[in-house]
Chains A and B, each alone.
Chain A
Amino acid sequence: GESVGLHLPTLSVQEGDNSIINCAYSNSASDYFIWYKQESGKGPQFIIDIRSNMDKRQGQRVTVLLNKTVKHLSLQIAATQPGDSAVYFCAETLSASKIIFGSGTRLSIRP
């Protein structure tokens, strides 16, 4: 299906390289952060999360870094593969109903 976010910032990465996607969040009171992956024509999919009392969390091939001082979140994807092509969103959580999503970054993989 047609992709959403036609005018999103795009990160182009060589297959096999590491990808770093950045996100600035807005509220210093946010205590929980999530990265989502959204493939074309699909709903967002949970990748990894981190609480505000942590600086770093690792998953399988993914690492999230949190810098509360500058309200910055990053997602690192190791050894980027073609299947990693998608739009990536960060989300900051203030409460069960107050979750703010970023506009997303499109990750494009060069063969």
Chain B
Amino acid sequence: NAGVTQTPKFRILKIGQSMTLQCTQDMNHNYMYWYRQDPGMGLKLIYYSVGAGITDKGEVPNGYNVSRSTTEDFPLRLELAAPSQTSVYFCASRNPGGNYGYTFGSGTRLTVV
């Protein structure tokens, strides 16, 4: 199993550009999450989804959008990139039952200049 796969690994955007961070998982997990991680800070939840067709805002949703058309895929969209969105982005997934331990992707490092 590949687990959680994120692409791209690195990206540099200019202010005002748009991009989509891709996330796919092959574990048939219902729950998927997007976090951002700034230097010296913990993970902040951007958006999450409890199943296909269902998404909800997390702690820091402004400037982002998501969709969940399939169980496997949970892309994160940045419409008008700003320097404040420079961060490392992690996608994670888990099943609803049992413990809350996530499986994380390897991250996307985004720089907005």
Instruction: State how many residues of chain A have any CB contact under 8 Å with chain B.
Output: 26
The verdict on B68 contacting chain A, using a C-beta distance below 8 Å, is no
Contact status B100-A7, CB under 8 Å: no
- For the complex, is B77 an interface residue (Cβ under 8 Å from A)? no
Is A99 a contact of B107 with CB atoms below 8 Å? Answer: no
Is the beta-carbon distance between B40 and A99 smaller than 8 angstroms? no
Instruction: Using known A-B contacts A43-B106, A44-B90, determine if residue A49 contacts B99 with beta carbons closer than 8 Å.
Output: yes
Closest to B87 in A: A4
Whole-angstrom distance between the alpha carbons of A26 and B105 in the complex? 27
* Contacting residues of chain A (1-59) with chain B, CB-CB under 8 angstroms: 1-2, 4-8, 32, 34, 41-46, 49
Interface of B with A (CB < 8 Å)? 4, 31, 35, 37-43, 45, 48, 50, 56, 58, 88, 90, 92, 96, 99-107, 109
List residues 42-81 of chain A with CB under 8 A from any CB of chain B. 42-46, 49
B42–A101 touching, CB < 8 Å: yes
Q: Are B40 and A8 in contact (CB under 8 A)?
A: yes
| Known interface pairs A46-B101, A93-B100; A6-B40 also in contact (CB < 8 Å) | yes
Given pairs A5-B37, A43-B107, 7 additional interface contacts (CB within 8 A) = A4-B37, A89-B43, A93-B100, A96-B96, A99-B45, A101-B43, A103-B42
